[in-house]
Amino acid sequence: FWKSVRKDELSEATIYGFEALEWVDQEMLREKIILNEKEIKKDEELNDADVKDIPLVSSGKVKEALKEQSEMLSEIKKELVEFKLKLKDFEEVFKANDYYIREDEGISECIEQLADFIVFGVPSKCPKCKEGTLFYDYTEHAYKCDGTDEKSCVASDPNPERHSLDIPEDWAENGFLEGRKLPMLKERSYPPGAHVKMDTVTDYPRDRIRRPTRFGKHLENEE
């Protein structure tokens, strides 16, 4: 695995599915990324000041948020596994929320999807084409529009507008998610560099100003 990744491209944001891992596994990988970073610095001289500034692993406040989010997602996914839901169950709850199971998806993808709804809420229809459904993309670290049968759409947003998950009545009666206030978090947190490939949702110049630069830093309002 390590040999298949170009050393200088290795970061939390470039490891596919990193955020779906258990927190302990994420921490183990973080250490390897830091070791790799040290190795690169030894190997070659980095003259470009910008390159030096890219954080490869998250720290401080971002890390706290990522930890909370990761533990919440793991906990919910474990609960969902215990419910032994079948594909038709997922179909039912997704349909109630105007979603669907995509062609190549099985139980584990459905668990990821439902956990995302429970923790962060259900994304509203695409703000650009108004009809498409937004699905999380682990490569691009954003919710991407699936388009419609008639037309494709490239809209993506790391934190789209959302509403709380609608739980079917008989599920609620059986104690599904009883006592939990949904959504559990206001928005999804991302590791450093994750917004590098983000597309703007609209073409308005105002939104373009907020477009992140190559290095994952926003041009304004960077916290």
Q: What residue ranges bind Zn ion (CB under 5 A)? A: 126, 128-129, 132, 145, 153, 155
Q: Tell me the closest approach of the beta carbon of residue 126 to Zn ion, in angstroms.
A: 3
Closest separation between CB of residue 132 and Zn ion, Å?
3
Closest CA to 165 of 220, 90, 101: 90
Is the CB of 69 or the CB of 156 nearer to Zn ion? 156
Q: Residue 203 Cβ, how far from Zn ion at the closest point, in Å?
A: 13
Task: At 143, give phi and psi (nearest 5°).
Answer: -90, 120
Shorter beta-carbon distance to Zn ion: residue 128 or 195: 128
Nearer to Zn ion, 160 or 191 (CB): 160
Residues whose CB falls within 8 Å of the CB of residue 207, separated by 6 or more in sequence, listed in order: 200, 201
Least distance in Å: CB of 143 to Zn ion?
11
* Smallest distance, Zn ion to C-beta of residue 195, A: 19
Continuous H helices in 44-178: 49-53, 60-82, 87-96, 107-120, 169-173
| Beta carbons within 10 angstroms of residue 64's beta carbon | 12
Estimate the crossing angle of helix 60-82 against helix 23-43, to 10 degrees. Answer: 140
**Residue listed under structure tokens 């609209």:** 202
Which residue, 67 or 125, is less far from Zn ion as judged by CB?
Answer: 125
Q: What Rg do the C-alpha atoms of the chain give, in angstroms? A: 19
Closer Cβ to Zn ion, 123 or 132, answer by number: 132
